[in-house]
Amino acid sequence: DKVLPELIEPYELRAAKLREFLEDVKPSLCYDIVPLADPFGPSVTDPDLQCLVVSEETRRGGEAVNRKRLENGLPELGLYEIQLMKDPDHSENEEEKISSSSLRQRLLGTLLQPPRRDPALPLRPYVIGLTGGTGSGKTSIAKLLGHLGAFVIDADKLGHAVYVPGGPAYEPVVAAFGAEILNKDGTINRKALGAKVFGNQEQLKRLTDIVWPKIAQMAKEKVREADAQGKAVCVLDAAVLLE
């Protein structure tokens, strides 16, 4: 698994950089840059290939390619092993080789572009959106910023509050999905609701079209609450913030 896959450059940009490098090295080279949709790519299906360049750490992958080629009735490739350049300045938690994974780690905490003043937005509180997949460290960072004095808004908590009886999404969700999603005490059974939308894009969109605007409104109210408390910074911790 790649470290911080969210910070990997898009394929088109990476291919353009590789193309530029190849042209700099030798303009007369013939090459075909292809995206790899699986671990093997065309290496196990292309009969015209003769050689595979590997490093010490990818030699086993090259050997796996040759096993696959034999299974596919193709001749083995010659494996040409190269040495990778070492990074003399790598830190303890980074790879020894010069690596894009290390570069992505070093980007953490870097201001990629300065904040732009938007005349339509109030100066205070300054709202930071904190997002990322499960296990990406959102909660830890939110807690750290909270200890430093920021007002933290947990979108998960808002997501639960939106469904409670009397909550902003309760009646429209029950009207849309029926009384069968209710527990005996009248609360929404999240599992029953989840079963109705799981794997059904149309039903899921129907639900998010109801719920997300309500959560956004609740988040705005929380920002106003932060302002009333005199907080300079507000952090919105939300897994699907961009969506």
- Tell which CATH architecture fits domain 5-107: 3-Layer(aba) Sandwich (3.40)
Sequence-distant contacts of 68-74: CB under 8 A, at least 24 apart: 68/40, 68/43, 68/44, 69/43, 69/44, 72/44, 72/45, 74/44, 74/45, 74/47
Q: Which residue has the tokens 């034999």?
A: 70
Alpha carbons 152 and 236: distance in angstroms, whole number: 6
Q: Which CATH superfamily is domain 126-237 in?
A: P-loop containing nucleotide triphosphate hydrolases (3.40.50.300)
Partners of 86 in the β-ladder: 97
**pLDDT for res 107:** 84
* Mean pLDDT, contiguous 10-residue spans, the chain (243 residues): 79 94 93 90 95 94 97 96 92 87 84 83 89 85 95 94 93 93 92 91 93 94 94 93 83
Contact 174, 182 (CB under 8 A): yes
Task: Read off the tokens for 12.
Answer: 């088109």
Tell me the H-state helices in 2-48. 11-25
Contact 11, 35 (CB under 8 A): yes
Contact 45, 72 (CB under 8 A): yes
Task: Read off the tokens for 216.
Answer: 């956004």
Distances (CA, A) of 53 to 15, 32, 36: 18, 15, 16
Domain extents for the chain? 5-107, 126-237
**pLDDT for res 43:** 95
**pLDDT for res 6:** 74
Candidates 3, 33, 11; CA nearest to 105 is 3
β strands within 14-158, DSSP E: 51-55, 78-82, 126-130, 151-154
**pLDDT for res 1:** 66
Distances (CA, A) of 105 to 114, 124, 221: 20, 31, 35
**pLDDT for res 84:** 92
Contact 64, 36 (CB under 8 A): no
Task: Read off the tokens for 198.
Answer: 């799981």
